[in-house]
Amino acid sequence: MDETPQEARKQKLREIIFGTDTPAGRYFDLSLIVCIVLSVALVFVDTIDSVHNRYGDWIRIAEWGFTGIFTLEYLLRLYCSAHPVQYARSFYGVVDLLSILPSYLALIFPGANFTLVIRVLRLFRIFRVLKLLRYLSEGNILLRAMMQSSRKVFLFFFSVSLIVMVLSAIMYVVEGPEHGFTSMPKSIYWTIVTITTVGYGDITPQTTLGQGIAALTMLIGYSIIAIPTGILTSEISQEMVRKKDLRRCSNCLKMGHEVSALYCDKCGNELETDL
Amino acid sequence: MDETPQEARKQKLREIIFGTDTPAGRYFDLSLIVCIVLSVALVFVDTIDSVHNRYGDWIRIAEWGFTGIFTLEYLLRLYCSAHPVQYARSFYGVVDLLSILPSYLALIFPGANFTLVIRVLRLFRIFRVLKLLRYLSEGNILLRAMMQSSRKVFLFFFSVSLIVMVLSAIMYVVEGPEHGFTSMPKSIYWTIVTITTVGYGDITPQTTLGQGIAALTMLIGYSIIAIPTGILTSEISQEMVRKKDLRRCSNCLKMGHEVSALYCDKCGNELETDL
Amino acid sequence: MDETPQEARKQKLREIIFGTDTPAGRYFDLSLIVCIVLSVALVFVDTIDSVHNRYGDWIRIAEWGFTGIFTLEYLLRLYCSAHPVQYARSFYGVVDLLSILPSYLALIFPGANFTLVIRVLRLFRIFRVLKLLRYLSEGNILLRAMMQSSRKVFLFFFSVSLIVMVLSAIMYVVEGPEHGFTSMPKSIYWTIVTITTVGYGDITPQTTLGQGIAALTMLIGYSIIAIPTGILTSEISQEMVRKKDLRRCSNCLKMGHEVSALYCDKCGNELETDL
Amino acid sequence: MDETPQEARKQKLREIIFGTDTPAGRYFDLSLIVCIVLSVALVFVDTIDSVHNRYGDWIRIAEWGFTGIFTLEYLLRLYCSAHPVQYARSFYGVVDLLSILPSYLALIFPGANFTLVIRVLRLFRIFRVLKLLRYLSEGNILLRAMMQSSRKVFLFFFSVSLIVMVLSAIMYVVEGPEHGFTSMPKSIYWTIVTITTVGYGDITPQTTLGQGIAALTMLIGYSIIAIPTGILTSEISQEMVRKKDLRRCSNCLKMGHEVSALYCDKCGNELETDL
């Protein structure tokens, strides 16, 4: 394992930037999170007119500061990564690029409003510190429960969308354009607003028949929410029982520890905990 | 099993149209789904005034194209079905007929708006590809759980409707016609809007007493949603445990496989999976 | 058990009126339910102005017909009951009386609007046919689960009301009377509208700080709904498991039958089923 | 244990004020609760203009009466507490102080509105009678379930806030200031109003694209509510099973009693019950 000094430096940089185990690595991640949160907060605050008018110049300066930091970080990651192309194409690589691109694009297309959306993606970089979750994915109860129930949930949403379309068509015919149901898309919008129990009230049924169908829509929405909850709850319960059965002490290999247990009840060894 | 050539052709057609096992059958189902989705999308888009004014003629042509396809499909199904009358009377037969009727009816009663509703039923034909679910109905956890809990859920809705009626009457008396509670049906509409936590805000209590009763109504609605969720969740959990106990390998007949298991843990044979 | 002819007639009447086992008893209950539903529907429909103006006289006549029927029923119940005073004081006795009183009171105080509320109580008489539930009360999973969890649910509502009051006070101070928060009761009303996710929109926060606190209120309301659902679901699951363990065949006394089982799996005897 | 008469008096006072076991202690707690509820009700009622104008003077007098009572209580607690400084610094000590401070502060800064908030904290003193819960904290199923699931719930809220921010930014760009989305904070407010299914309707999307994204937001909010419910329900179920396994008779030490059991099924000794 004799490395050139350059290789050694690269290796060390990689540990700091990509790793989370060394103090330097943790410090790097922490300062990055602070920068991300601050830069996103800046983007948000900048949209308030009074703030923009008074502190607009300061915000632009800070904005360029953060862009500089993130550009430096992106270049360092590219430099010290073992597989630069692979990194650039990975989800995080794309997110990293997207978080600096808008600022440079803003130089070319000044005042472009759509860059705001892309800038928000900068927040997604906070997910990077969550990469430790990757090692836990096998044991991740929540994720497994959701995948187990994905077919049932898909069928549920398929049925809901059929109900929504039928109800939308009926309401469109019953209420008509004069009461705000000007088109089928608008009617579908109303039905979703109603069936999810959001209920803006920007479009409301005016006829007695329409109000009756609306009441039916609400009751459907109110009761079918029990279905995904029931499915997911049962799956999570199952996963928890299975998890408990499989949880093994890494020292004495005894299995069947409680999910909440911190130490092996046979040899006292600390147990690994995950999400 | 010697068949006339006509019989053989019928049999082959039946496999393509009613079956889902052959490549041709799957291709037929897929093109049908595409046609259904497109024709329904067309119906929806046609209700937008600007689209109707600009592309109205094209939509009418496409509409007749789809009607032709669905008419052909209906006639083919009638022709190759083993029991044409039985098919015509079945749920899917009626849906198939309903999906072509409106277009022809529109020729006789031009501009009839109510045909829109019937045209939406065309989407129901997408359920046909779901007929494979029929073979799974015995093991369908969701359906069994819902049937198991139907009595409890009925009692729940009966109690809710009693609460709704009493609260409606109280609010009608307390608020009165001058605050929008012009009649009992309107008051029931308001109560359902409130108890399901939809809350349009088109009718709101104005008096302090009315707002107090409204707050009570909301809290009732907010807490009783736990009841159907609780019932259904418990039933689904029970069904899952039972399902697991009964799951049998078709090769070695070993029972008690996990719901998520893909292979028999005794002989390695692939297990059947269903919803 | 020698009875006078009068006693025998009383006994027979009692079987018809209070019983549900004989065909006559079932027929009596059914006609009563029809009368109740019709008379309640009449009360509801009468509140619609256009209906009242056109059919007001007919409704008044039908109203008196139903009052006559219910008065006769009440007197018969009093007459044939084994303990008339006890019946008159029971829940159902009071409901029966309340269902005829308003009509007679309306003669004395004409146009009294508050009688509407009492008339709705007439519907509560439909609960009488539910008296068969009484024999099932011991095994009633839902009721036991709710009673088991009543202490937890009380604590939940106590905590919620504390949160509501604190948030109401804060919003009252932050938004003030100029944005619709004219008094603490109004502010509490707003908080309940928000925390139950009803969201009428008749009072909405206007200041940025107020909108922030409102967003927090919504998130609290959105997440704490999980608590009563979780409590009740767990209790129902527990009750179901216990119920299954205790379910006994009345023939061979074998215990431990599935909740959904219809026949004893040892001797084939039909099992009793309840809610 | 020979004490000076003063010590003995202090000890007795402590039993009355801090204790809940003696009749005097219970009587003290009860009168305190009545005072707290009354004084809070007074604060609430005082905010209604018509009440304030008519009974303002009486309310001020009663206010000072309650302040006197609570001041006396605070001083007595300080006096008879074994560790006065520790009490003064404890949560309840701070709450006790906060419940009398506003009235005195109101003398110095007349008409200060912010004291209302602090006065509401007076209600928190009702929690003091809940201190018996402290002895139950180990067995508290609800609290343990919530702590067990806190990591999952945190991750859930973290994901939700990311979704909220992305959707807010998209809506801000799509709808723009002319439809009420005047700034990112306002857009976030709208997204939370929508995703929690509150739906005030004070800001609603006007463009078709905006309504489509709004419909998506609602469906996300409608379905993800299943996740915390599922997590908490499973944890509560687990805790209940564990609790049952660990429940021990204090007489014969037999373990494994039902959560709902009142007596030991081996020796008939009364079992301790808790939340």
- Distance between CA C268 and CA C262 in Å, rounded? 9
DSSP string covering A166-197, please?
HHHHHHHHHH-GGGT--SHHHHHHHHHHHHTT
Contact predicate B250/B211, CB 8 Å: no
Q: Among D196, D197, D262, pick the best mutation site for testing chain C contact (most C Cβ within 10 A).
A: D196
Q: Which of A158-167, B18-27, C196-205 reaches the highest mean pLDDT?
A: C196-205
- Work out the average pLDDT over B47-63: 84
pLDDT digits (tens, 9 = 90+) for C175-189: 888 898 888 889 889
Tokens of B19: 């079956």
Q: Residue B181: which of C48, A228, A80, C29 has the closest Cα?
A: C48
Compute CA distances A166 → A19, A109, A213, B145, C185, whole Å: 53, 45, 11, 25, 42
- End-to-end alpha-carbon separation of chain D, Å? 36
Q: In the predicted model, is pLDDT for residue B68 greater than 80?
A: yes
D246/D197: higher pLDDT: D197
Q: What are phi and psi of A185, to 5 degrees?
A: -55, -40
Lowest-confidence pick of B40-54, B103-117, B119-133? B119-133
This complex has an ipTM of 0.76
pLDDT digits (tens, 9 = 90+) for B118-164: 555 555 544 444 444 434 444 456 666 667 777 777 777 777 887 88
Q: How far is CA B68 from the centre of its chain?
A: 26
pLDDT, position A136? 44
pTM of the full predicted structure?
0.80
Q: Check if A229 contacts B (Cβ < 8 Å).
A: yes
Q: In the predicted model, is pLDDT for residue A18 greater than 50?
A: yes
Lowest-confidence pick of C70-79, C103-112, C180-189? C103-112
pLDDT, position A189? 93
Report the percentage of chain A scoring pLDDT > 90.
8
A56/D129: higher pLDDT: A56
Q: Which CATH class is domain B148-227?
A: mainly alpha
pLDDT, position B260? 55
Buried/exposed code over C110-141 (b: 16+ C-beta within 10 A; e: otherwise): eeeeebbbbbbbbbbbbebeeeeeeeeeebbb
pLDDT, position A111? 54
- Distance between CA C225 and CA B221 in Å, rounded? 11
Q: Check if D31 contacts B (Cβ < 8 Å).
A: no
Compute CA distances D232 → A192, C156, D143, D239, D241, whole Å: 27, 14, 11, 10, 14
Q: What are the structural domain ranges in chain B?
A: 5-135, 148-227
Q: Check if B233 contacts C (Cβ < 8 Å).
A: yes
- Work out the average pLDDT over C99-105: 74
Q: In the predicted model, is pLDDT for residue B56 greater than 90?
A: no
Tokens of D275: 């939340």
Task: Give chain C's largest Cα–Cα span.
Answer: 83
- Distance between CA D64 and CA D69 in Å, rounded? 9
A226/B1: higher pLDDT: A226
pLDDT, position A1? 47
- Work out the average pLDDT over A175-192: 88
Q: Which residues of C touch D40 (CB under 8 A)?
A: 165
Superfamily, domain C5-135 = Voltage-gated potassium channels. Chain C (1.20.120.350)
Q: Residue D68: which of D38, D103, D42 has the closest Cα?
A: D103
Q: Residue A189: which of B34, D183, B44 has the closest Cα?
A: B44
Closest-CA distance, C199 to chain B, in angstroms, reads 5
pLDDT, position C39? 79
Between D166, D208, D238, which is nearest A240 by CB?
D238
Q: Check if B243 contacts C (Cβ < 8 Å).
A: no
Q: Check if C207 contacts D (Cβ < 8 Å).
A: no
Contact predicate B89/B77, CB 8 Å: no
The DSSP H or E segment spanning A220 is helix A208-224
- Distance between CA A244 and CA A238 in Å, rounded? 10
Chain mean pLDDT for chain C: 76
Asked whether the beta carbons of residue D116 and residue C173 sit closer than 8 angstroms, the reply is yes
DSSP string covering chain C, please?
----HHHHHHHHHHHHHH-SSSHHHHHHHHHHHHHHHHHHHHHHHHTSHHHHHHHHHHHHHHHHHHHHHHHHHHHHHHHH-SSHHHHHHSHHHHHHHHHHHHHHHHHHSTT-TTHHHHHHGGGGGGGGGGGGGGGGGGG-HHHHHHHHTHHHHHHHHHHHHHHHHHHHHHHHHHH-GGGT--SHHHHHHHHHHHHTT----SS---SHHHHHHHHHHHHHHHHHTHHHHHHHHHHHHHHHHHHHHH-B-TTT--B---TT--B-TTT-PBPP---
User: Any residues with CB less than 8 A from the CB of B168 and at least 6 apart, and which?
Assistant: B184, B187, B188, B190, B191
10 Å CB burial of residue B50 (0-12, 13-18, 19+) is exposed
pLDDT, position D141? 62
Q: Check if D269 contacts C (Cβ < 8 Å).
A: no
Chains with 3+ CB–CB pairs under 8 A to B are A, C, D
Chains with 3+ CB–CB pairs under 8 A to A are B, C, D
Q: Which residues of C touch A199 (CB under 8 A)?
A: 198-199
Q: Check if C185 contacts D (Cβ < 8 Å).
A: yes
Asked whether the beta carbons of residue C215 and residue D192 sit closer than 8 angstroms, the reply is yes
Residue bearing tokens 């040892």: C266
Phi-psi region of A268 (alpha: psi -120 to 50; beta: other; left: phi over 0): left
Q: How confident is the model at residue D190 (pLDDT cuts 50, 70, 90)?
A: very high
Q: In the predicted model, is pLDDT for residue D121 greater than 60?
A: no
Q: Check if D31 contacts C (Cβ < 8 Å).
A: no
Q: Where are the beta strands (DSSP E) in chain B?
A: none
Closest-CA distance, C170 to chain B, in angstroms, reads 19
Q: List the 148-177 stretch of A: residues with Cβ below 8 A of B.
A: 148, 151-152, 155, 162, 165-166, 169-170, 172-173
Q: What are phi and psi of C248, to 5 degrees?
A: -120, 140
pLDDT digits (tens, 9 = 90+) for B216-255: 999 888 888 778 788 888 877 777 777 666 666 777 766 6
User: Any residues with CB less than 8 A from the CB of D20 and at least 6 apart, and which?
Assistant: D26, D29, D129, D131, D132
Tokens of B24: 């041709």
pLDDT, position D257? 65
Q: Residue D87: which of B221, D95, A151 has the closest Cα?
A: D95
Closest residue, chain D, to B237 (C-alpha):
D234
D107/D125: higher pLDDT: D107
Buried/exposed code over B29-49 (b: 16+ C-beta within 10 A; e: otherwise): beebeebbeebbebbbebbbe
Report the percentage of chain C scoring pLDDT > 90.
8
Q: What DSSP character marks residue A272?
A: P
A65/A260: higher pLDDT: A65
Between A198, A201, A233, which is nearest C233 by CB?
A233
Report the percentage of chain B scoring pLDDT > 70.
72
DSSP string covering D43-56, please?
HHHHTSHHHHHHHH
Chains with 3+ CB–CB pairs under 8 A to C are A, B, D
Q: Which residues of D touch B229 (CB under 8 A)?
A: 229
Q: What are phi and psi of C263, to 5 degrees?
A: -125, 150
